[in-house]
Amino acid sequence: MTTQKKQPPTWRQMHLDTTPEAEAVLFKLLRAAPTWKKWRRMEDMNRTTRLLAVIGLRRRYPQATEEEIRRRLADLILGPELAERVYGPLYIESRS
């Protein structure tokens, strides 16, 4: 029995409310954008993603120290095994 990995949704599946004409304009603008603008947009998206991840971690672990939040963020970004190899084990201070 073979198991197939679940494929991420396609652009079309994620943008059902976008008409093909609007999509064509968007892609034309994206292709025409200078490289620096594409890099800036990617940097902004990465920053936003990291911020949302930290907000989620703070909600899940309201008593966590900043150090613990950073370490848990490393788990999300690198995966638990690599994060532990790079930063050491996740120490959770006892909370009373």
Is 1 a residue whose pLDDT tops 70?
no
Residue 62: exposure state from Cβ atoms within 10 A (0-12, 13-18, ≥19): exposed
Token output for 62:
């309201």
User: Could you read off the pLDDT of 7-29 as tens digits, one per residue?
Assistant: 889 888 888 899 999 999 999 99
SS3 percent helix, strand, coil of the chain, rounded to 5, is: 65, 0, 35
CA distance 34 to 31: 8
Distance of CA 8 to the CA centre of its chain: 14
The H or E element containing residue 9 is: none
pTM: 0.71
DSSP state of 63: T
User: Could you read off the pLDDT of 35-62 as tens digits, one per residue?
Assistant: 999 999 999 999 999 999 999 999 999 9
